[in-house]
Amino acid sequence: MPTDVPGVILAGGQAMRMGGGDKGLLVLGDGVILDHVIARLAPQVGALALNANGDPARFARFGLPVLADPLPGHGGPLVGVLAGLDWAAGKGADRVVSVAADTPFFPRDLVARLQAAAEGMAHPLVLAATPRGAEKTKSMSRGGHVRHPTLGLWPVALRHDLRAALEGGLRKVVLWTEAHGGREALFEEADAFFNVNTPADLACAQRRAAGA
């Protein structure tokens, strides 16, 4: 069910393992990866934007605002989150949800479950997590869960703090979330946050999209 929480799709990565370019524009099924991401997130949020750098015209067909990184260089996903927070602040929202442009199969109730995990927090700050499994490259929480730092709920009230941290050299998402008492929303679906990093991943996504 839609909420008034705005959502931002993080598409600012350099996709080095895919040979560069925009992973979200890779063909998947009858469209591109971004078509799948938008179809899942749009019904869950009140407004939607895309975080990406370079010429925004390449995303024109999606009809979404394109938010450039507010800080120079390639600062990682937190800079994209900051872009989303600044945009959400301009809309009068107190939080924003983020997803990654290369993660086309996230749950259709992602936002509701992140919101539920944030209940009672003065500053809603929640990362999606899954049970410990095969994804060794992700950040582990103290409880042994796999955290997915590009999929989360972020508080507008802390955007100035985040900007200062980034300007001070912070790059690791979980260092900032832990410093502010961030929580996890645990999703038992181990492959819910499958993301496309390599050509082999894209082939797997194609099979999944086709129902194979």
pLDDT of 100 higher than 60? yes
pLDDT of 1 higher than 80? no
Look up the pTM and report it.
0.91
As a whole number of angstroms, the distance between CA 129 and CA 189 comes to: 10
**Among 35, 43, 36, 38, residue whose Cα is nearest residue 3:** 43
Instruction: Report residue 8 as tokens.
Output: 């931002």
In tens, the pLDDT along 13-30 reads 655 444 467 899 999 999
Range 171-188 average pLDDT: 94
The predicted pLDDT at position 17 comes to 47
pLDDT of 212 higher than 60? no
Range 126-137 average pLDDT: 75
In tens, the pLDDT along 147-170 reads 999 999 999 999 999 999 999 999
Look up tokens 């997590």; give the residue. Answer: 129
* Domain residue spans of the chain: 6-209
Q: What is the dihedral of CA 139, 17, 87, 114, to 10 degrees?
A: -40
Q: What is the dihedral of CA 21, 60, 69, 40, to 10 degrees?
A: -80
Percentage of residues in the chain having pLDDT higher than 70: 89
As a whole number of angstroms, the distance between CA 154 and CA 35 comes to: 24
CATH no. of 6-209: 3.90.550.10
Range 68-76 average pLDDT: 87
